[in-house]
A and B are shown apart, each in its own frame.
Chain A
Amino acid sequence: MTTEALLALEHVTKRFGQVVIAEDLSFSVGAGDLVGIVGPNGAGKTSLFGLISGDLAPGAGTIRFAGRTVTRLDAAARCRMGIGRTYQVPRPFGDMTVFENLLVAAQQGGGLRRRASYAAAVDALDRSGMSDHANVPADRLGLLQRKRLELARALATQPKLLLLDEVAGGLTDPEVAQLVEIVRDVNAAGITVIWIEHVVRALTALVSRLTCLAGGKFVGDGEPSAVLAEPAVREVFLGTDVTAALAGGSMTAAPADGDRSEL
């Protein structure tokens, strides 16, 4: 297949002072894909989303979406082009009802007019399972509902690409399973999904492609269980000894040298 990728990052570099979020990073996602991203604390996963959604500008490199170069395009414009995202800490418009929140998303983000925006909001309600809560003020929602609202708002903006940022955190097992099904249906309807998550089992149950972001680079990229078994990926999370042990070595390690010369 030679169709152009829906999203392509080419040689993107981004640093915050000493901390490297992306180092000559190249990454592409095809239309209809369902990709999971894992990575240690502070690796810059959310910042990666910021680069894609337009909240952050890269230090170097190009970002292309739907055939256009969007590197210099601001977040609102990218949203109208079809990049939707959720944020780690759900921040709905508290005084407004769930439905009103979705209406804003559909009109502003989706660029839809009155009639169409109502339809889009209702559709987002259905897909996220929030129909029962349509008239509840957003700040009265419980955690799971808030996360669903985050998802619904992103859906209401009529995205082609949906970026999910750690939406499974704090949910119980059955809730995680429900969320996974919602995302599966969303993807089946044709929306491309990239999901950052530290609840790894949510991803392994769903995605066909997993990669790990560490030290500004992607480590491993492919089928989830294969990626998690790769030494380089294991080492990111579990360190050298455990990785060596999993590969057949011994886990009892000699104590580190007491060299205190330079810090």
Chain B
Amino acid sequence: MTEAAHGGAANGGTANGGAANGGAANGGRPENGTPLLEVTDLTVHHGQLCALDAISLRVYPGEVYAIIGANGAGKSTLLRTIAGLHQPTTGWVRFDGTDMTTLRPERRARQGIVMVPEGRRLFGSLSVEENLQVGKTYARPGPWTIDRVYETFEWMRGRRNQRAAQLSGGEQQTVAIGRALVANPRVLLLDELSLGLAPVIVQRIYAMLPQILATGLTVLLVEQDVSQALRVASHIHCLLEGRTTLEGRPADVTAEQVEAAYFGLAGTARLPGGGSEP
């Protein structure tokens, strides 16, 4: 395991772990191209509490961009602000070059920014199929249809007339993803897929991600389980109390950097044996 330098990986500064931005060996991230989704100097408040402090990020087409961090770090706030459910105090959200910052959430959804919210949020009194149909109402043209969702998630077809509230947590999560997919989004926002689900089910859901990406989607996700995020992401971004503490490709960051960025523990004495236990 390479011991890369920690330098500035915690508390406030943006640390690009390992590969610097614009490095040639990035493979797939055209740093000088147009990002599909761009957030600039975003500051968001919940009442008096500052949830996000001048956050910037860029998501390029085809990426799986993962936002990690402890609770209270501002991850969900960031996603909700991008989706339009929350207005920032200052800063911009740009989609495909167009400023979206003041656009209402339903407009953003119709433009192709579709979020699967935290906690699934299915329409409980509607059936599985009706949930998908609602998702389809304002859909953009594209490869995803309700039929295709049934093909991708085979169990769903047989249960399509069942009330959504009666499904298990993992099933609801899949239906929620399906509801977002039928809208043919360009950017899919996934907010804490793993919350409240057994690890084995979470893995199965994430295992479907490649199929989803194959249709040309870009994914921006928030994940509480850091290891799970690192497994699926092409780019990670760690938040701590509303500030960026780490950013880069999973291959370029070390476990120590992730730990320091997550807890913000730079400078605090850690047990010497921490990194060398067999």
Contacts and interface: CB of A to CB of B under 8 A. Distances in A.
A251 B196 contact: no
A251 B255 contact: yes
B273 A251 contact: no
Contacts, number: 139
Contacts of B278: 247-248
B168 interface: yes
Contacts of B72: 166, 169, 198-199
B270 A263 contact: no
Nearest to A199: B241
Interface residues of A, number: 47
A40 B268 contact: no
Contacts of A260: 153-154, 204, 207-208
B64 to A, nearest CB: 12
Nearest to B211: A258
B16 interface: no
A139 to B, nearest CB: 11
A259 B268 contact: no
Contacts of A42: 195-196
B263 interface: yes
B1 A256 contact: no
B1 A41 contact: no
Given A142-B48, A237-B226, A260-B154, A252 B208 contact: no
B111 interface: no
B265 interface: yes
Contacts of B70: 198, 200, 237
A248 B170 contact: no
Interface string A176-209: 0000000000000000000000111100110000
A36 to B, nearest CB: 13
Given A170-B49, A198-B70, A229-B270, A248 B196 contact: no
B127 interface: no
B262 interface: yes
A95 to B, nearest CB: 18
Contacts of A40: 71, 224
Contacts of B255: 238, 242-243, 245-246, 251
Contact of B171 (A169, A255, A263): A263
B1 A250 contact: yes
Interface in B21-62: 47-51
Given A229-B273, A238-B227, A248-B277, A259 B204 contact: yes
A240 interface: yes
A201 to B, nearest CB: 5
> Which 9 pairs of residues, A with B, have the shortest CB-CB distance?
A239-B227, A245-B255, A41-B71, A263-B170, A170-B49, A241-B227, A143-B48, A229-B274, A256-B203
Given A242-B227, A242-B259, A251-B1, 7 more contacts: A204-B268, A226-B271, A249-B1, A256-B231, A257-B203, A258-B207, A263-B174
Interface of A: 19, 40-42, 142-143, 146, 166, 169-170, 173, 198-201, 204-205, 225-226, 228-229, 231, 234, 237-243, 245-253, 255-260, 262-263
14 contacts: A143-B48, A146-B48, A200-B70, A200-B264, A205-B268, A229-B274, A234-B259, A238-B227, A239-B225, A247-B277, A251-B255, A256-B204, A256-B206, A256-B231
Interface of B: 1, 11, 47-51, 70-72, 153-155, 168, 170-171, 173-174, 195-196, 201, 203-208, 210, 224-228, 230-232, 241, 250-251, 254-256, 258-259, 262-265, 268-271, 273-278
